Chains A and B, each alone.
Chain A
Amino acid sequence: MSEPIPAVLIVLPIVAATVPLAAGLVRDRVGWAIATLVLTAEAALATVLAYRIYVDGERVVHVLGGSEFGRQEVEFGGVTSEFIVGIELVGDALSGLVVLLIAFVSLGVLAFTRQGGPRSNAFYSGYLLLAGGLMGVPLTGDLFNMFVFLEIVGLTTYALVASSDRPEAAVAALKYLVIGTTGASLYLIGVGYLFVRTGTLNMVDVSRSLAGEPGWIAGSMYGDPLVAAGFGFVVVGLATKAAIYPLHTWQPDAYAEAPDGVTVYISALVSTVGAYALARVTWFVFTPEFFVVNTLVIEAVLVLAGGSVLAGSVLAASQRRVKRMFAYSSVAQFGLIVLAIGVAVHPAASEQATRFAVYGTVIHLLGHAVIKGGLFATVGSIAEGTDARMVREYAGLARQRPFLSGAFAVLGFALVGVPPTIGFVGKWYIGLSAVESRLWPVVAVVVISTVLSLLYMARLLENLYFDTSTVTTDAPGSQSTDVAADGGGANGAEVDADMTPRKAAVGTRPPYGMIGLALVAAIAVVGLGFVGADLTTALDPVVEAVIESSPEVTP
């Protein structure tokens, strides 16, 4: 029952990554075409995989290495049990959605980089390599293999960040390199501890061994300090990858200094797979039963995540550069996601609470990827031609960039969590799960984060649409004469156009691909809000598995 699709999804882009470099010897600028071709095939494959998972209700498994590998009967001390030999790739109800997200975002961002981003062949090699690495994280069923894919993602991201010609980008990439590698090493140490105790690296087998299922293990190992320490290392490592405050310091620099096209891509997906890995390991390797024994540690994670939400929001509100603002906003949003991951396995959570927390985690993970990618695409497109990168430079740009500003507003409202966008659905479920499990501090954090995000989004939108620079020049009294003259409005617009000297000639319009990506993202966040019901149905197998503390998501 070895299915080829998961393996092809990973191998195809990685192998194809060599093509742009090789073709570059013959022709310039072929990278984009090759990447588009490959990633279109990826999107098709991901769709087929998702169809198999969600419509046919299968758990698609691929065993690397051929027929002598795979699940085998193992006998030890007179007891037989099934164990894996080799590495499994698994597509189930949790990974399917993430695979779809990665495939379509990877394809979509190409529309932006066609004219907006780096265009060298080397860039597209890196891009394809990154796509392959990203695909590997959700698909793998092996803890060490996950480390390998996380490192592929990490290393290619460092290279892409550094691909800008500004020296600051190199510095940011270096910082990211050191911190990211440290995080990955901590994860590896954690995995090593688990290996020492269980003798296996397969997620399902590790989880079963920790629960004490195989006959040769006497009872569960949840109370074992080494196992608990393993969880600590894994969490800190993955929290660094997901940029949780105060482990986030690499992230604002990396997002802000990378070329715009790269920022769109990594902001949408890189931290996303980090958070995915955390959810996968927390829910299915350690399972809720582990946290019944170790309640304090999950509460420590909640405190860390809650702090990330608050600190990230406050730091975002105090930024003057738009890209940095959204980078810090990601710190806050991933805090929310980690909160939901933690609530799902918290002993205080009822079944209903766990259900909502799982919905909230995955929906917000997907929603945030689209929203944040879309916002960075919009920011990049607005900067094209207007060169506006600071919040105050956005003053009154709505008149010159009506479509982009519209997309910006929709995406911004989605980030705040205004219905009917996907941002609302995710936050709503996260809030609801916290209420259901009676974790009041978490509820307070969710509510406060909404208000704080409203604060910085409102500041941006106000600048964009309602040029506040005229307020200071208008005497308050003159307003009323305006009313008498013409009922206000039209005349006022002319006045401020004359009174505020602005970069008069707006250079070139951004290319259609860049605007298109922003618009598609804006439409997607609203559209996804309406398919919330189908998403939750798709996630029901995941919920069942978490509630039963089962290591496998079976349809």
Chain B
Amino acid sequence: MIHEVTHPAILVLIAAGLMGVLPRRIGHVLGVLGTGAAVVIAWTVPAGSYLDVTLFGTFDAVLYSVDDFSRLMGLIFGFIGAVAVVYSYASEAEGTQTAFALAYVGTSLGAVYAGDWLTLIFFWELMAVASTLLVWHYGGVAVRAGFRYAVLHGIGGSLLLAAIAWHFAEVGSVAFDAHPGIVSGVPAALAAVGIGVNVGFVGLHAWLPDTYPRPHIAASVFLCVYTTKTGVYGMFRAFPNGHLWIAYMGGAMAVFGAFAALLQSDMRRLLSYHIQSQVGYMIAGVGLGGATIGYGGSQYYYDALATAGAFGHIFNHILYKALLFMTVGVIIYRTGKESLDDLGGLGVHMPITAITFGIAALSIAGFPGFNGFVSKGMIIGAANKKELEALWYLLLLGGVGTFLSFIKLGYFAFIEGSYGGMVRDANRGQSVALVSVAGLCVLFGLVPDLLFELLPFQGQYEYTTYTIPHIGEGLALFAIGLVGFAILRGPLHHIGLVPDVDYAYNRVFFYGGRVLVVAATELYAAIDRAGIRLVRSAYWTGRNPAAATQAAAGWLPGGIRPEIGTDPDSESTGHPTRNEPSRLFLRAGIGTTILILSLVLTLLLLFAV
């Protein structure tokens, strides 16, 4: 069958290439077709691996491999890609920008369909390049942020690459099925930190709020989906049997992200922190996905629940987070304002935006009846059943923070105050994108079985979405959020820009780099100066033996100092020449080198003999 050998990423990348040269309208149509085809393929292609190749003569790579996990990723990546292309078209994005975005989508698809580590890292790096270009394309303040983004992801990618090399050295194969996850020990630690950059571990997350608010509104929609979710997918491949530390890191991210978001007034910055928070839930799910984690050593039941929950949350999160960035994008598109301080009372003017935002906000916060409730419940449930109390409380606390910050965002943007002047609602294309995604959020929330059919580990766990305690939990979090907001409303309204860890490490990096470069240059200059001085004084000694002897004699103690008559000639060619600009400068340069050369030779001979 032809569709079994057609890699979805190829279709999307071809669409990206054509988009770069064709007129804007045709290009966007092709973009929707390409990403749509990726959805169809993901839906229909049977499991198995299709493109086995030998890379560089040594590595058995699987370029295209389909299983339950990659199918789910391919499905949602393709679908949201199509929606985002429609949204880009409606939001007047340039063709070139969408072409970069589609290249980003295509490389992400390549990463999730990889059947081995080498193919994964290959697309992983290209994904970083494509997303950097997408950010850079907007110009202005996005350029510096894009540079920081590129450097950080370069470091992360290199760490992952080192982990993979080590893994290969231990296992002898790069294929996923050769060994469950990355070899434990140092490689696992390197992989965790390397992937941790992509998923926004606390401390490594600062690129998220730094980069995502800056580019074009449509670019943000693409960005909020692919990098972090591919990261979660990679984390699962690296740790298919979970890890307790990773689970707790997930809990920490959930709480940190949610409360850092609460302090923001730039809308897209607020949403970016929520990516970290939500990805925290997924990471917690991945971390819990092992039989040895927490209570229930022999019971596969809860492990399957945690992993399925993580992937369900990826799926749901992509829907509502893209929807949130699209609604906020509409606000920016119509008003030109990025900050909540300048907005208010928009609900009356923009009903479609307000309603779809409401659906997205209830979804992300996990309100019963919406899709976030389903998958978040699975992860929290697994933490509870495995009796990891601390993690369970962390995840619940994150839920409170999420309610709080979305009540804040919704309240200040749509309800409080009134907006002077006319503001139109989302245009037709934007509305299509908003309503279709919002519909899915509600659909998957009300009929969770539809979601369960897509998830891995079907039938290996039991989970009932709507039970009284679970609904009660959701409503209780909402109630706490409401009460908390009522209390905190005043202080939250006008809060300045809160510095994050990047404030510190941008400076460390910048000045550290400066110090390194200057130190290296200065050190070399110092060696050079010393060498020149040595050679110069040697020359001077050669030409003025008498004066040199006299000068040397001056250092001797008085008792044995020889008597030397003053010679007027040597006086004139004596010390002053040291201060004159040297005529030997050129020869000294070469001389220094020869000196170094002989030093290196001497050292090497010392080792050799």
Q: Which residues of A contact B (CB under 8 A)?
A: 171, 174-175, 178-179, 182-183, 186, 225, 228-229, 231-233, 235-236, 239-240, 246-247, 249-250, 294, 296-297, 299-301, 304, 311, 314-315, 317-318, 356, 359, 413, 418-420, 425, 428-429, 431-432, 435-436, 443, 447, 450-451, 454-455, 458, 462, 465-468, 470-471, 474, 476, 479-490, 492-493, 496, 532-537
- Residues of chain A within 8 A (CB-CB) of B93 are 487, 489
Interface contact B603-A300, CB-CB below 8 Å = yes
How far apart are the CA atoms of A418 and B54 in the complex, in Å?
19
Knowing A247-B593, A479-B141, the reply to whether A536 touches B607 (Cβ < 8 A) is no
Which 3 interchain pairs have the tightest Cβ spacing? A484-B336, A487-B92, A536-B57
Interface contact B138-A488, CB-CB below 8 Å = yes
- Residues of chain B within 8 A (CB-CB) of A356 are 58
Interface contact B604-A484, CB-CB below 8 Å = no
Knowing A435-B166, A532-B57, the reply to whether A318 touches B143 (Cβ < 8 A) is no
Knowing A247-B597, A470-B140, A492-B140, the reply to whether A454 touches B154 (Cβ < 8 A) is yes
How far apart are the CA atoms of A531 and B305 in the complex, in Å?
45
Knowing A315-B520, A466-B139, A480-B336, the reply to whether A533 touches B57 (Cβ < 8 A) is yes
B147 at interface, CB cutoff 8 A: yes
B590 at interface, CB cutoff 8 A: yes
Interface contact B125-A314, CB-CB below 8 Å = no
Q: Which residue on chain A has the smallest CB distance to residue B214?
A: A479
B15-32 CB contact bits vs A (8 Å, 1 = yes)? Answer: 000000000000000000
Interface contact A483-B217, CB-CB below 8 Å = yes
How far apart are the CA atoms of A225 and B609 in the complex, in Å?
5
How far apart are the CA atoms of A294 and B609 in the complex, in Å?
8
How far apart are the CA atoms of A314 and B155 in the complex, in Å?
16
- Residues of chain A within 8 A (CB-CB) of B141 are 471, 474, 476, 479
Q: Which residue on chain A has the smallest CB distance to residue B94?
A: A489
Knowing A182-B594, A182-B597, A300-B603, the reply to whether A484 touches B609 (Cβ < 8 A) is no
Interface contact B125-A419, CB-CB below 8 Å = yes
- Chain A interface mostly: helix
- Residues of chain B within 8 A (CB-CB) of A458 are 147, 150-151
How far apart are the CA atoms of A426 and B547 in the complex, in Å?
58
Interface contact B607-A297, CB-CB below 8 Å = yes
Partner pick for B140 among A231, A240, A465, A471, CB 8 A cutoff: A471
Q: Which residue on chain A has the smallest CB distance to residue B599?
A: A246
* B76 CB, nearest partner CB in chain A, Å: 26
- Residues of chain B within 8 A (CB-CB) of A428 are 56, 161, 165
How far apart are the CA atoms of A470 and B139 in the complex, in Å?
9
Q: Which residue on chain A has the smallest CB distance to residue B157?
A: A450
Q: Which residues of B contact A (CB under 8 A)?
A: 54-58, 91-94, 97, 122, 125-126, 129, 136-141, 143-144, 146-147, 150-151, 154-155, 158-159, 161-162, 165-166, 168-169, 216-218, 332-338, 513, 516-517, 520-521, 524, 586, 589-590, 592-594, 596-597, 600-601, 603-605, 607-609
- Residues of chain B within 8 A (CB-CB) of A447 are 158-159, 161-162
- Residues of chain A within 8 A (CB-CB) of B151 are 451, 454-455, 458
Q: Which of A294, A314, A470, A490 counts the most B-chain CB atoms under 10 A from its CB?
A: A314
Q: Which residue on chain A has the smallest CB distance to residue B153?
A: A454
Knowing A451-B155, A533-B57, the reply to whether A179 touches B597 (Cβ < 8 A) is yes
* A172 CB, nearest partner CB in chain B, Å: 10
Partner pick for B165 among A186, A239, A425, A431, CB 8 A cutoff: A431
Knowing A178-B594, A246-B600, A533-B57, the reply to whether A419 touches B126 (Cβ < 8 A) is yes
- Residues of chain B within 8 A (CB-CB) of A455 are 151, 513
- Residues of chain A within 8 A (CB-CB) of B162 are 431, 435, 443, 447
Partner pick for B601 among A233, A462, A467, A489, CB 8 A cutoff: A233
How far apart are the CA atoms of A467 and B338 in the complex, in Å?
24
How far apart are the CA atoms of A313 and B251 in the complex, in Å?
40
How far apart are the CA atoms of A182 and B598 in the complex, in Å?
10
* B117 CB, nearest partner CB in chain A, Å: 12
Interface contact B601-A296, CB-CB below 8 Å = no
How far apart are the CA atoms of A435 and B169 in the complex, in Å?
7
Interface contact B154-A450, CB-CB below 8 Å = yes
Interface contact B216-A488, CB-CB below 8 Å = yes
Partner pick for A228 among B122, B165, B609, CB 8 A cutoff: B609
- Residues of chain B within 8 A (CB-CB) of A315 are 520-521, 524
How far apart are the CA atoms of A37 and B295 in the complex, in Å?
79
How far apart are the CA atoms of A299 and B606 in the complex, in Å?
12
* B149 CB, nearest partner CB in chain A, Å: 11
How far apart are the CA atoms of A183 and B596 in the complex, in Å?
12
Q: Which residue on chain A has the smallest CB distance to residue B605?
A: A232
- Residues of chain A within 8 A (CB-CB) of B516 are 314
Knowing A443-B162, A533-B56, the reply to whether A489 touches B138 (Cβ < 8 A) is yes
Interface contact A418-B136, CB-CB below 8 Å = no
Interface contact B154-A451, CB-CB below 8 Å = yes
- Residues of chain B within 8 A (CB-CB) of A239 are 600
Interface contact B605-A451, CB-CB below 8 Å = no
- Residues of chain A within 8 A (CB-CB) of B597 are 179, 182-183, 186, 236, 240, 247
Interface contact B589-A175, CB-CB below 8 Å = yes
- Residues of chain A within 8 A (CB-CB) of B521 are 315, 318
Knowing A247-B600, A431-B165, A455-B151, the reply to whether A484 touches B140 (Cβ < 8 A) is no
- Residues of chain A within 8 A (CB-CB) of B144 are 468, 471
- Residues of chain B within 8 A (CB-CB) of A488 are 138-139, 216
* B349 CB, nearest partner CB in chain A, Å: 15
Knowing A428-B56, A466-B136, the reply to whether A249 touches B158 (Cβ < 8 A) is no
* A497 CB, nearest partner CB in chain B, Å: 12
Knowing A179-B590, A182-B594, A454-B154, the reply to whether A485 touches B608 (Cβ < 8 A) is no
Q: Which residue on chain A has the smallest CB distance to residue B124?
A: A419
- Residues of chain A within 8 A (CB-CB) of B146 are 466
Interface contact A232-B216, CB-CB below 8 Å = no
Q: Which of A174, A300, A466 counts the most B-chain CB atoms under 10 A from its CB?
A: A466
- Residues of chain B within 8 A (CB-CB) of A468 are 143-144
How far apart are the CA atoms of A103 and B495 in the complex, in Å?
67
Interface contact A418-B125, CB-CB below 8 Å = yes
- Residues of chain B within 8 A (CB-CB) of A301 are 604
Partner pick for A451 among B56, B147, B158, CB 8 A cutoff: B158
- Residues of chain B within 8 A (CB-CB) of A250 are 593
Partner pick for B593 among A179, A229, A480, CB 8 A cutoff: A179
- Residues of chain A within 8 A (CB-CB) of B165 are 428, 431-432, 435, 443
How far apart are the CA atoms of A174 and B593 in the complex, in Å?
13
Q: Given A304-B600, A450-B154, A490-B94, 4 more contacts at CB 8 Å?
A: A428-B161, A431-B165, A455-B151, A489-B97
Knowing A183-B597, A487-B93, the reply to whether A229 touches B129 (Cβ < 8 A) is no
Interface contact A479-B590, CB-CB below 8 Å = no
Interface contact B56-A532, CB-CB below 8 Å = yes
* A460 CB, nearest partner CB in chain B, Å: 12
Q: Which residue on chain B has the smallest CB distance to residue A479?
A: B140
Interface contact A536-B56, CB-CB below 8 Å = yes
Partner pick for B607 among A171, A186, A300, CB 8 A cutoff: A300
